[in-house]
Structure 1
Amino acid sequence: MLKDSPTVFHEPTLNSFAALGRQIHSQVRSALQDLLSSETQNPAALRDDPDLRNAALLHRSTVHNHLPVSIGDYTDFYAGYNHAFMVGCLFRGPANALQPNYTHLPVAYHSRSSSVIVSNTPVYRPIGQILLDPSAEQKEPTTAAARRLDMELELGVIMATGNELGSRIKIDDAESHIFGYVLLNDWSARDIQAWEYVPLGPFNAKNFASTISPWIVLADALEPFMAKGIENKTVIQNYLKESRAENVVDLELEVELTTSEGHSTMIAKTTSRNLLWSFPQMIAHHTLGGCPLRTGDLLGSGTISGTEANQKGSLLELSGGGKSEIT
């Protein structure tokens, strides 16, 4: 199956493997399952050959994980409806919580791929301009370390194959361009963001670190967990209309906070079903004007939150904008 690309697994990243497309990914996945299965009839199975098993497998404690792909570009969407609504309520009130365009198109901003890091990499508190007293008549910022550092629970998609400049990926073809999924933490400096994001959106508040898991779960592996996302009652444009009803992955997602003393507390639990827009819709919109996506590009879902108090995917929501403590 890899006779034309025999060295793809000798490279430090999975980009070349990703570029081979979904059909090859499926074949490799099936072959690995066959080698690892306890019920396999394959004579080369790792189950029956201890020497081969010792040569092929490494103990997890001996492994240092790196970024799984070289990420050329990173676009973060805002598809978590409940998060968008709750944050809008905090800043603008329920009547104006969502901008008029929110249910018409997948809102996004372009972030920095240079600061995407693998899980367990230390994140340094960023320095930026902060407005200490937003109510003051004279707006005079100070430059200091962020005092409102936030995490955001997201899913990320890694692109397998892209499109040429000037072309676009149609909605029902978009799924075939997805390599796999990662967990994503879009770190955010909320006080820096509050001062800088009007009129062109977040900048230094978001570009200092974004964390992804070292393991990419192939799209085929998550196929059994597809479900219907949040219903969009707005009549959307034809290029965003999917023929598939079950369009988002349904995964249980959890946030656990661990102190420097080693004490851990579960502070949030939600599901990735809480998305208004699917990744195929994000891809279709991203390429609508002819923007080329490329192998290894990262697309973020936006913060995923439920509607209950313990289902919020950010500290901003969990604390009510800093008004209540998180135990």
Structure 2
Amino acid sequence: YFEQYCIFSGTSPLCCIAGPCPAGGVLAVNMTIPNTLLRGTAGGEALLSVRYNSFSLDPPVIKWQLKREKSITVVQSIGTDIIGTPRPEYRDRILVFENGTLLLHNLRLSDEGIYDVEISITDDTFPGEGSITLTVDESISKPFIHMDTSSILELSENIVLNCSHDNGTRTTYRWFKGGKPLSNVTRFTLSPDQKYLTISRVVMADDDLYSCSVENPVGNMSSLPLRLTVYRRSSLYIILSTGGIFLLITLVTICACWTPSKNWSDLSQCAALFTDDGLPKIPERNGINSVTSLYILQHKVTLIYSLVLLQRTARYTINEHSRDSSVQAAANQTTH
């Protein structure tokens, strides 16, 4: 914005900008720029608006340039008549108005930058000059939350939520839990750009609706809420894991201790097939019966060895559950 003023040398005026001048004053173009910062959307339009005042009736010479290492002339015109042929990247995309305003159609990301405008008139000694900064961004597409699974057991180590979207530049992210901004919880960790949310050591209180919003200089969009379901280990974990393992142990035991030629009603006899170290015993027999017994024993050894592994797995499962329950109880006691 240029104020109206006159320049004097002693008592004699040297220059007057767009205002009534004393005798001997030199006229100059007075330019006004309503908005020096514009934010445009790719594919849209940008109106680089200027206004000028001059006492001359001659048409103005208008020149727009885009600042680069070497300035690029966007358009030059006398009034609204464009001089010469515009550069290929601006052809059919520019329009100049009588007051010097420039309209850019079908904006591209490469149009971003600082635009210098100069308006000069023959009778005026000094031209009017000004600058407008234009930013160009892509509109944001509808974001959505992506995660590997929407259901998880409590006390699981990590689950990652990703706020994804297809389009959008210069984006910032915000996360919501239960419709409210995400609270500052130490178990909630955001990536440097805040696009990824990591929940560590999941607890039952994390069972909720999660959503994210994406913003940039030309707009914002919000995702649909997505529920994260947290199951309590004490019910599902014991029923499916421990109960299933004991069922398999029972089936393997029955298969190991029964053959078509001999029906063992006492399953405790299975223990006689192993030494104290858990290794199978090899019976000492002669003749063909020894070969037959060894064949039967090989099948029993395979099945009963699986029984031993399942028993150890069940024991480990129960111990892990007891440890997790103790940790959770201690955490709840600390909270209260």
- TM-score, structure 2 normalization: 0.19
Select the structure of larger CA radius of gyration: 2
By relative contact order (CA 8 Å, sep 6+), the higher-ranking structure is: 1
What is the TM-score with the length of structure 1 in the denominator? Answer: 0.20
